[in-house]
């Protein structure tokens, strides 16, 4: 179920990526100042409008081919980086989180019936989705440590009944498909659910530093949510197994998309520095500025190489848990440095909404926390260092 995807080859990949980049630059960029964006993301109306334009341009869901096959992870990286050149790009071409990761998971694990009912409308861009795993930290729920999950499920006839609270559920408002994680007596379980459902009650939409995700980030109460037994993914107690299938590719996809955002931020800062004069010369000719842009190039290239390296590991069919943790830390920290430098290069202009750079900075800053904070990944990697040392230590 977690085997590698064959892909289409470098020439076809380059063709797809070029089409996506052209669409994002020519069609999506002008939407960045559209008033239908708010603090909880672009409106549903706006996203559907962009998706129709993407469909007409032949770039909707570009990482999944018409026959249902998936680009390899290395090929997906090439395409998703181009979709990320605008914060709106992934939503427009249907490569955004959590939909991209949810499509991947259902495609790998779902039965033919579940794929027809839940995957097809996602791939076609007719529906959005949400992934219900994270829980409130103040209730000691599942955050960075999924084993702390408090949401429960119990079998009642031919339905499972789910109760609990979820938080930071990206894209919930307006979503039509949900993947819900809960804990039975056997362990973690995953369910596919139709949204909205009256048993899932919106507590609030969180005001967060980022505003690029349609549907925002929600806190929700699940009160006696009844899900037919045949909508469970796999068997009771296998939820973490399936989460692992989704985990590394989805984590790496974040790196791909935000690499595009950071690349665009660098483009904006470079253009500013090559036009603006101060103290008798262009900003770029001042070493303090020029060196920051040079460091951006280094960080962007190192991040790209980490993404490609991890993608190659996943393309062998391996879960790539360690590699994706390493990539997530390296890429999120590098791109955050890039975004920070871009704001600094642009000075006062960089902190205004006269340019998109301040929004890019906010989005990338959140990336250091989303899909696991840097410190949690380092802690996990440190445990592996110790475990490997003890395993290799002579008796």
Name the one residue in this structure whose structure tokens are 């409106």.
43
Backbone angles phi, psi at 132, to 5 degrees: -95, 90
Q: What's the whole-number mean pLDDT along residues 370-384?
A: 95
Neighbours of 241 (CB within 10 A): 17
Structure confidence at residue 114 (pLDDT): 96
CATH of domain 10-96: 1.10.540.10
In sequence order, what DSSP letters do the residues of 151-193 get, joined into one string?
A: -EEEEETTEEEEEEEEEEEET-TT-SEEEEEEEETTEEEEEEE
DSSP state of 25: I
The confidence band for 2, taking pLDDT boundaries of 50, 70 and 90, is: very low
Q: Which two tokens stand for residue 342?
A: 């871009």
Residue 140 above 70 pLDDT?
A: no
Structure confidence at residue 1 (pLDDT): 40
CATH of domain 130-235: 2.40.110.10
Q: Which two tokens stand for residue 75?
A: 């090929």
Beta-carbon contacts of 308 under 8 Å, excluding residues fewer than 6 positions away, are: 74, 77
Q: What residue segments make up the domains of the chain, in order of their start?
A: 10-96, 130-235, 240-390
Go through the chain and tell me how many residues it has. Answer: 395
CATH of domain 240-390: 1.20.140.10
Q: What is the pLDDT of residues 266-297, one digit of tens each?
A: 999 999 999 999 999 999 999 999 999 999 99
Q: What is the pLDDT of residues 81-124, one digit of tens each?
A: 999 999 999 999 999 999 999 999 999 999 999 999 999 999 99
Beta-carbon contacts of 171 under 8 Å, excluding residues fewer than 6 positions away, are: 96, 97, 98, 99, 128, 129, 130, 213, 214, 215, 216
pTM, two decimals, is 0.94
Q: In the chain, what percentage of residues exceed pLDDT 90?
A: 91
CA 199 to chain centre: 27
CA-to-CA distance for 300 and 335, rounded, in angstroms? 7
* Nearest to 334, CA basis, from 239, 261, 274: 261
Structure confidence at residue 139 (pLDDT): 63
Q: What is the pLDDT of residues 153-179, one digit of tens each?
A: 999 999 999 999 999 999 999 999 999
Backbone angles phi, psi at 177, to 5 degrees: -130, 135
The confidence band for 143, taking pLDDT boundaries of 50, 70 and 90, is: low
């Amino acid at each position: 179920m977690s085997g590698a995807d064959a892909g289409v080859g470098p020439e076809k990949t380059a063709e797809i990526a070029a089409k996506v980049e052209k669409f994002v630059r020519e069609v999506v960029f002008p939407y960045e100042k559209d008033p239908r964006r708010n603090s909880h993301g672009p409106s549903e109306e706006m996203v559907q409008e962009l998706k129709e334009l993407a469909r007409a341009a032949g770039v909707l869901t570009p990482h999944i081919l018409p026959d249902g096959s998936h680009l390899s992870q290395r090929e997906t990286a090439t395409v998703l980086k181009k979709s990320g050149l605008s914060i709106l790009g992934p939503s427009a071409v249907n490569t955004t989180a959590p939909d991209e990761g949810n499509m991947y998971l259902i495609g790998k694990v779902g039965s033919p019936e579940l794929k027809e009912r839940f995957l097809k409308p996602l791939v076609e861009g007719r529906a959005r989705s949400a992934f219900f795993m994270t829980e409130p930290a103040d209730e000691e729920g599942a955050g960075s440590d999924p084993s702390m999950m408090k949401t429960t499920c119990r079998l009642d006839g031919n339905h499972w009944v789910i109760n609990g609270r979820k938080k930071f559920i990206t894209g919930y408002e307006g979503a039509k498909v949900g993947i819900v994680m809960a804990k039975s007596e056997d362990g973690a379980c995953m369910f596919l659910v139709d949204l909205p459902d009256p048993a899932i009650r919106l507590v609030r939409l969180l005001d967060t530093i980022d505003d690029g995700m349609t549907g925002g980030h929600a806190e929700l109460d699940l009160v006696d949510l009844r899900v037919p037994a045949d909508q469970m993914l796999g068997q009771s107690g296998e939820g973490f197994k399936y989460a692992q299938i989704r985990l590394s590719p989805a984590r790496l996809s974040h790196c791909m998309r935000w690499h595009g955002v950071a690349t665009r931020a660098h483009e904006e800062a470079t253009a500013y520095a090559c036009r603006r004069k101060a103290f008798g010369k262009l900003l770029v000719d001042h070493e303090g500025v020029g060196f920051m842009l040079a460091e951006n190039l280094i960080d962007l290239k190192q991040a790209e190489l980490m993404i490609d390296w991890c993608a190659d590991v996943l393309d062998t069919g391996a879960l790539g848990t360690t590699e994706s943790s390493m990539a997530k830390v390296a890429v999120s920290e590098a791109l955050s440095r890039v975004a920070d430098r871009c704001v600094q290069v642009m000075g006062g202009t960089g902190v205004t909404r006269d340019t998109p750079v301040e929004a890019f900075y906010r989005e990338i800053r959140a990336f250091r926390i989303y899909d696991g904070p840097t410190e949690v990944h380092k802690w996990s990697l440190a445990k592996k260092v110790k475990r490997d040392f003890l395993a290799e230590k002579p008796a």
